[in-house]
Homo-oligomer: A and B are copies of this chain.
Amino acid sequence: MITISSDVIRGYNDTIILYLLLDKPSYGYEISRMIRQLSDGKYVIKETTLYSAFTRMEKNGYIISFSRSAENGKRRTYYSITDAGREYYREKCEEWNLTKEVIEHFISLSGTRALPDSGAR
């Protein structure tokens, strides 16, 4: 079974997290679950990756944290996206479209299809 390797998604974890903060603040565990759900279980972010992304993005000003008690009284660290975060997200979306375009020049659909003559030689 093919799974997503971390090196591939690397550089998009931040984007994914920001997407999930676009409409409302959220916290680690919820974001983790949402990623799993929205990807149909195809991508499960590692906890350490997630929390280190939070730290990094707060340092960069893309999100801000605040502590709030949940209904049951447990403390949680919530994060909400900043304007800079929205801007960064927007840029990453554009970058993604470009990247996709570029990589698809080097992906053959079947994976083994004979190449059209490259013109070399």
Spell out A's residues near B (CB within 8 Å).
2-12, 15-16, 19-20, 22-24, 38-39, 42-43, 86, 89-91, 93-96, 98-103, 105-109, 111-112, 114-115, 118, 120-121
- The answer to whether B15 touches A121 (Cβ under 8 A) is no
B94 touches A2 (CB 8 A): yes
Given contacts A7-B11, A111-B90, contact A98 B2 (CB under 8 A): yes
B20 touching A99 by the CB < 8 A rule? no
Decide if A112 touches B98 in the complex (CB within 8 Å). no
14 contacts across the A-B interface (CB closer than 8 A): A5-B11, A8-B95, A10-B11, A16-B106, A19-B107, A22-B108, A23-B114, A23-B115, A38-B105, A42-B98, A42-B102, A90-B111, A93-B109, A93-B111
